[in-house]
Structure 1
Amino acid sequence: MKKILLLATGGTIASVEGNEGLVPGLSAEELLNYFSKSSRNLEIDCKILMNIDSTNMQPEHWKEMANAVFNHYDDYDGFVITHGTDTLAYTSSALSYMLKGLRKPVVL
């Protein structure tokens, strides 16, 4: 069975309705409830790195994401990083350089 680490950062995918619109609110474990446990042949662990709106994403957050992948690299077969839509392109660009040369998949 493949082991995947889901790294949660907040953003649109983890948002819930608040008084003034969408706000980050779902945990990584709550996101997994969207998938049928019986239909996946994976062991998925979750780690919340942050729970912010992606408009607030900064380079220090990119470093935190990259460090989480490096720190857990030997323990997992792949990584999924959840992220909001507003700054997804910037984060994916930064991580493509920070994680260059890895032999395991990292999905943003």
Structure 2
Amino acid sequence: MGITRDTPDPAGGIIRKRADGEPDGVLEEAAHFSNMGKLLTALDGAASVAIVKAGTDLWARFGYTTAQDGRATGSTVAVLEEAAAAGRLPIDVVAYIDVLVDRDMARTTGARC
């Protein structure tokens, strides 16, 4: 992602750094979201579904029956729907639409999957 010791924290986020100033790999809040978007948009549908499957499998192993995505976009919902249609979600997933990104989707989308 090109993050270095000189990369400033974005507004609303933190890039954690070790005592020597080098990033330690943990991105919090806005730092995570901006970089995760760059990574996820580079994936194809199969890779996105595989990530969803791996995450929901992990939650299921710990006994969780439901998870939530508190900042879903239209593309996120599409991946969740694809995974659900393929029977790849071992738990329920609730997606709350990010109204700052997909306000129209929030108005028109009902319960699905």
Q: Structure 2-normalised TM-score?
A: 0.38
Tell which has more relative contact order, 1 or 2 (C-alpha 8 A, sep 6+).
1
Which structure: larger Rg? 2
More strand by share: 1
